[in-house]
Amino acid sequence: MKYLIVGLGNIGPEYELTRHNIGFLTLDRLAEKTGADWKSDRLAFKTEIKHKGRTLHLIKPTTYMNLSGKAVNYWMKDLNIQKENLLVLVDDVAIPFGKLRMRAKGSSAGHNGLKNIESLCGGQDYPRLRMGIGDDFPKGRQVDYVLGRFTQNEFDELPIVMDKAIEMIFGFCTIGISQTMTQFND
């Protein structure tokens, strides 16, 4: 069984430790824990890991967040991966920091990366892991907040959150999305 696990984020040092890059950061942690090395490939940084007889292709699109669908579409076709074996890790301001919610499908909720994936990959019916970053920003300042760096308290908690997300990724690939949602969703 093959899976495509996509961490959303933006490339470049100015975005490295921002809330918007929690998908990138989580896949970096997963790669580090499994000894996988990233390579620059078509439209993404890519690596692959094995877990319980499954192959997980990890990508971090290099297209910038708003064009993430370009990389997702390319790699789904190139690797011949069905939508039910795609999992997108995405930041979500509607969920408190540290909370994680896996969904089999859903709307973009205004997230430009998800909008682009929907547009280029044929709709909203693909699994995603929504990673809460909270909404502690004044009206009209969402962009600054999302593209801002984590607070020290958030940064201290981040490894715990990312490790739970990694457990959820493994669950998605082994016990399936329904059981993973039941077991892990906050």
- Sequence-distant (≥ 6) Cβ neighbours of residue 169 within 8 angstroms: 5, 30, 56, 87, 89, 129
**Which residues belong to the active site?**
20
Q: How confident is the model at residue 33, as a pLDDT?
A: 97
Q: Is 64 annotated as a binding residue?
A: yes
Band of the pLDDT at 77, cuts 50, 70, 90? Answer: very high
Q: What is the 3-state secondary structure (H, E, C) of the chain?
A: CEEEEEECCCCCHHHCCEHHHHHHHHHHHHHHHHCCCCEEECCEEEEEEEECCEEEEEEEECCCHHHHHHHHHHHHHHHCCCHHHEEEEEEECCCCCCCEEEECCCCCCCCHHHHHHHHHHCCCCCCEEEEECCCCCCCCCHHHHHCCECCHHHHHHHHHHHHHHHHHHHHHHHCCHHHHHHHHCC
Please write the tens of the pLDDT for every residue from 6-49. Answer: 999 999 999 999 999 999 999 999 999 999 999 999 999 999 99
Confirm whether residue 112 is marked as ligand binding. yes
Q: Is 74 annotated as a binding residue?
A: no
- Which residues contact residue 40 at a Cβ distance below 8 angstroms, ignoring those fewer than 6 apart? 46, 62
Give the pLDDT confidence score for residue 50 in this predicted structure. Answer: 97
Q: What is the mean pLDDT of residues 73-89?
A: 97
Q: How confident is residue 171, by pLDDT bands cut at 50, 70 and 90?
A: very high
Q: How confident is the model at residue 117 (pLDDT cuts 50, 70, 90)?
A: very high
Tell me the pLDDT band of 124, cut-offs 50, 70 and 90: very high
Residue-level length of the chain? 186
Q: How confident is the model at residue 186 (pLDDT cuts 50, 70, 90)?
A: confident
Question: Considering Cα of 25, then 27, then 30, then 35, what sign does the dihedral take?
Answer: negative
Domain 2-184 has CATH 3.10.150.10: no
Q: What is the mean pLDDT of residues 164-171?
A: 98
Q: Flag whether 15 is marked binding.
A: yes
- Mean pLDDT computed over 59-76: 97
Per-chain mean pLDDT for the chain: 96
